[in-house]
Chains A and B, each alone.
Chain A
């Protein structure tokens, strides 16, 4: 029996907008188990971003329960939520969000600075290891502006791995990348998932969603359908099939 990492029950989220109330999430029930690779899909306004904010412990639900790795986040105050994010979650954003003028290694170290149990030597070692995992062992001391978009996103992925989270939350992580680079990033995600990482991936691209094991489709604050992906894409294979790039040699 696989461990349940994310368990959401009867979850609601309302936003007051002037006199009216917007029901961003109406009644959500979902589970993500260990080793899962789930796409959270939907058009804009479907509630998928609100869901991600709540899953990421950045926002609290109006009603219902959300258990993250067995911890009920409704009981926690702001500081405890920050600690929860630090110990159990890894974030990846569409626009990478790396600190400028800061080396790849230091960017990856960032989450560990907020964990006082990790000493500086261990911090450095873990950051190096995370960068090796994403294939950037030769880019430790590069600044973000010396890296390509795909490489920057890899640094961001390394940053999300460094604290060994129970789940990685990705928000349109391939949104800013071209097809080939997107596939390369998905190849990395598939590799990490094969190694046992649990991943929740928000996207509106069906093409990208087909790299995952399961798709959860949101619409108007409700889950419209939830299905296993059949004929799942294999990134390594797709990259091989792409037309060869014209290399420019200087």
Chain B
């Protein structure tokens, strides 16, 4: 058998029926196009969420106080005072998977300077917090060890606070603002970070030494959260485990007692937020897959009609020396050409759709090689699978009957 010749025969046969070939391909084009389009848009929106969450911090892990028993009564999370500075120190001393760690205490109130004021939040943290949360200093410096220990009245301010209190003309570094009645000297300004994935302004904040906020403003002994970075992305899970073990022993919890704290990682947040988009992508992909299947059945349908319509041609081909296998291969090649060409056009079409859609939705445009290769293979398989039966029928025709078929 000569595949080059058979391919030429198949191509010529398709050329004789261009319009029908294009109509047949349309099913595959739409099927593949929508699969590629849906997956690409879904993947783009997932990437978008991931980017925004990862911009919140680097390999970030945060610990919040959890519910705890007090004399048989379950206390709510927000009332819990289970985390203390001792926990932070202990974690700092004896964990191996954490690179940075910072306590956090926070409160909200008005920042005041002269006749200007602005409602904002103040976060009491240490000097490692900036790196954990991926904040950078644009101007000035971070507070020193000494300022932390001495409850220093210093702070760093975010761009939103600067704009609302100082405007653009005054250099805020060196100025003093009042927050909750306490004067704080501005020693640095944070670089702009923009909104996070949930639409919160990440520049509307004041950072101060945790000691200052904890004791001077709130007058409490516990802390509200612990922020940390694991040494790298892979060791996040080990780091979480380490924190849990350490805090349980630190809090002297019995083996059967619930944790009185909650550890969350950035990866979990990504998962939580992307699970919805994953599900949507799968759902849309499945619907698109069904349309691909329908396209395949369309090919089978047309091939059947084509075999019946071309019975005489098949008889002729057999009488001039085409074997059953030649005929089988011809029809199979025709079906595969239809589905592969349909697939290629569909891939281009799908990418165009997703390019337009991602632009309109402001999502990153991703070309997914895997999906493209996969849909290419699926198309070939569809061609062979749905082409086989009609081709078999053609090959099994009796040449005597076929040649006299009217």
Q: Is B323 in contact with chain A by the CB < 8 A criterion?
A: yes
User: Would you give the shortest CB distance from B13 to chain A, in whole angstroms?
Assistant: 8
Structural contact, A82 and B323, CB atoms closer than 8 A:
yes
Which residues of chain B in 50-109 are interfacial with respect to chain A, using CB atoms and an 8 Å cutoff? Answer: none
User: Would you give the shortest CB distance from B398 to chain A, in whole angstroms?
Assistant: 8
Q: Is A86 in contact with chain B by the CB < 8 A criterion?
A: yes
Structural contact, A58 and B319, CB atoms closer than 8 A:
yes
User: Would you give the shortest CB distance from A184 to chain B, in whole angstroms?
Assistant: 23
Instruction: Give the CA-CA distance A86 to B315 in the complex, in Å.
Output: 13
- Stretch touching chain B among A93-101, A132-140, A216-224: A93-101
Q: Which residues of A contact B312 (CB under 8 A)?
A: 97
Instruction: Give the CA-CA distance A85 to B2 in the complex, in Å.
Output: 17
- Provide the A62-104 mask, 1 if CB < 8 A to any CB of B, else 0: 0000000000000000110011011100010100010111100
- Provide the B13-24 mask, 1 if CB < 8 A to any CB of A, else 0: 000100000000
Q: Is A56 in contact with chain B by the CB < 8 A criterion?
A: yes
Instruction: Give the CA-CA distance A83 to B319 in the complex, in Å.
Output: 10
Q: A97-B312, A97-B403, A116-B2 are in contact. Are A86 and B321 (CB under 8 A)?
A: yes
Structural contact, A53 and B400, CB atoms closer than 8 A:
yes
Structural contact, A82 and B318, CB atoms closer than 8 A:
yes
Q: Which residues of B contact A111 (CB under 8 A)?
A: 320-321
Q: Which residues of A contact B325 (CB under 8 A)?
A: 79
Structural contact, A82 and B16, CB atoms closer than 8 A:
no
Which residues of chain B in 257-279 are interfacial with respect to chain A, using CB atoms and an 8 Å cutoff? Answer: none
Chain A residue at minimal CB-CB distance from B5: A113
Structural contact, A58 and B400, CB atoms closer than 8 A:
yes
Structural contact, A100 and B321, CB atoms closer than 8 A:
no
Instruction: Give the CA-CA distance A36 to B312 in the complex, in Å.
Output: 30
Q: Which residues of B contact A87 (CB under 8 A)?
A: 321
B319: contacting residue among A56, A79, A100, A113, CB under 8 A = A56
Chain B interface: which size bin?
20 to 34
Structural contact, A79 and B323, CB atoms closer than 8 A:
yes
Q: Is B8 in contact with chain A by the CB < 8 A criterion?
A: yes
Structural contact, B324 and A85, CB atoms closer than 8 A:
no
Structural contact, A59 and B323, CB atoms closer than 8 A:
no
Q: Is B245 in contact with chain A by the CB < 8 A criterion?
A: no
Instruction: Give the CA-CA distance A56 to B403 in the complex, in Å.
Output: 12
Q: Which residues of A contact B9 (CB under 8 A)?
A: 113
Structural contact, A83 and B321, CB atoms closer than 8 A:
yes
Q: Which residues of B contact A78 (CB under 8 A)?
A: 323-324
Q: Which residues of A contact B400 (CB under 8 A)?
A: 53, 58-59
B320: contacting residue among A79, A86, A100, A116, CB under 8 A = A86
Chain B residue at minimal CB-CB distance from A52: B400
Instruction: Give the CA-CA distance A79 to B8 in the complex, in Å.
Output: 21
Instruction: Give the CA-CA distance A99 to B260 in the complex, in Å.
Output: 84
Structural contact, A114 and B12, CB atoms closer than 8 A:
no
B interface residue numbers (CB < 8 A to A): 1-2, 5-6, 8-9, 12, 16, 312-313, 315-326, 399-400, 403
A59-B400, A114-B317, A114-B322 given. 19 additional CB < 8 A pairs? A82-B324, A82-B326, A83-B321, A85-B320, A86-B322, A97-B312, A97-B315, A97-B316, A99-B16, A99-B313, A101-B16, A110-B320, A111-B321, A113-B8, A114-B5, A116-B1, A116-B2, A116-B5, A159-B320
Q: When A and B form their complex, which 4 residue pairs have the shortest distance between CB atoms, in order from nearest?
A: A86-B321, A116-B2, A82-B323, A111-B320
A/B interface sample: 16 pairs, CB < 8 A: A58-B318, A59-B400, A83-B321, A86-B321, A91-B319, A93-B316, A97-B315, A100-B16, A102-B16, A113-B5, A113-B6, A114-B5, A114-B320, A114-B321, A114-B326, A159-B320
